[in-house]
Amino acid sequence: MKKAAIIGVGHVGSTLAYTLITRNIIDELVLFDTKEDQLLSEYNDLFDGQVDRYSYVKLIEPDLAELADTDVLIFSAGDITIFEGNSDRFAELYLTKEIVEEWAPKIKASGFKGILINITNPCDVVTQRLQELTGLPKERVFGTGTTLDSARMKHAVSKKFNVHPSSVEGYVLGEHGESQFVAWSSVRIGGVPITEMLSLDELEELEGVARAGGWITMRGKGYTSFGIANQAALVVEAVLNNNYKILPVSSYSEKDQCYVGHPAKVAVSGIINDYHFTLSDRENQKWRKSIETIKFMHSTAL
């Protein structure tokens, strides 16, 4: 039985719940949220959403004791309205650090032994605080990191070259936030480095398009949900299927002494290896800047 739990069932948590159910990734699901009415509605709707389906995911009432045998716990609590008129994910930290401080002791006391995956922003710092305050091994706590940003880069590149987005390889690295950057040296289409096909100016323009992707979604909807739910579901699936997929999650970088989005091998035991490929001098500078940004944000959350 593959059991998942989600803390924070707003736009992201509810979309992820439905994605996990409809893709047959899990067998059992427990949901937690402070808004009881909303939570009841989500349970009801998720039940309705399964009627007449061949398979069925057992929806379990919120109870901390359920965490003891939960395989994957997803943290997506927050308040997206904080971003109205503010485009920096750092803005949410004053609230989300408190939600972490509330939940970490509960997670610890529950006897949870599974994998903790964080989505809540600012993703890297919240992930690090969750690890520090739960005391869970670093390899069993990680964030969605730059998976969504890498997807947005693939979206932009796929349109420019008229190819399927899955045919674009490569990574966005660093903070899931303003200091992230596309590691163009890693991006390839059909095995051909993109740096051989576009000039530096053209790459910068394309990076702007990729970055703007999230804010285009935010502007009209007031939140983003499908992109992150897709990426988070892929991460959950990589854990539960123990498929050793390499994903740009926010995992602990020993060399940088913080959580940061970079490629890592994901398995049922958590992160079993992380990868630091060779960056250009320009990219290296951006990496250092992103690490400094994350460390500064982390220091404000203590």
Residue numbers annotated as active site: 176
117 near 172, Cβ under 8 Å? Answer: no
| Residue 223 makes contact with ligand NAD by CB under 6 A | yes
Which residue type is seen at 285? Q
SS (H, E, C) 24-80: CCCCEEEEECCCHHHHHHHHHHHHHCCCCCCCCCEEECCCHHHHHHCCEEEECCCCH
For residues 30 and 70, give the distance between their C-alpha atoms in angstroms, rounded to a whole number. Answer: 9
174-193 binders of ligand NAD (CB under 6 A): 176
Based on CB atoms, which residue is closest to ligand NAD, 198 or 210?
210
Residue 85 token pair: 């008129």
Burial of 94 (0-12, 13-18, 19+ CB in 10 A): exposed
Choice from 5, 13, 17, 266 touching ligand NAD (CB under 6 A):
13
Beta bridge partners of 174: 261
| Residue 121 makes contact with ligand NAD by CB under 6 A | yes
Choice from 63, 79, 202, 204 touching ligand NAD (CB under 6 A):
79
| Residue 123 makes contact with ligand NAD by CB under 6 A | yes
| Residue 221 makes contact with ligand NAD by CB under 6 A | no
| Residue 78 makes contact with ligand NAD by CB under 6 A | yes
Choice from 4, 5, 6, 7 touching ligand NAD (CB under 6 A):
7
Based on CB atoms, which residue is closest to ligand NAD, 110 or 121?
121
Task: Return phi, psi of residue 218, to 5°.
Answer: -60, -45
139-158 binders of ligand NAD (CB under 6 A): 144, 148
In the complex, the residues that contact ligand NAD under the rule CB under 6 A are: 7-13, 32-35, 38, 76-80, 92, 96, 99, 102, 119-121, 123, 144, 148, 176, 223-224, 228
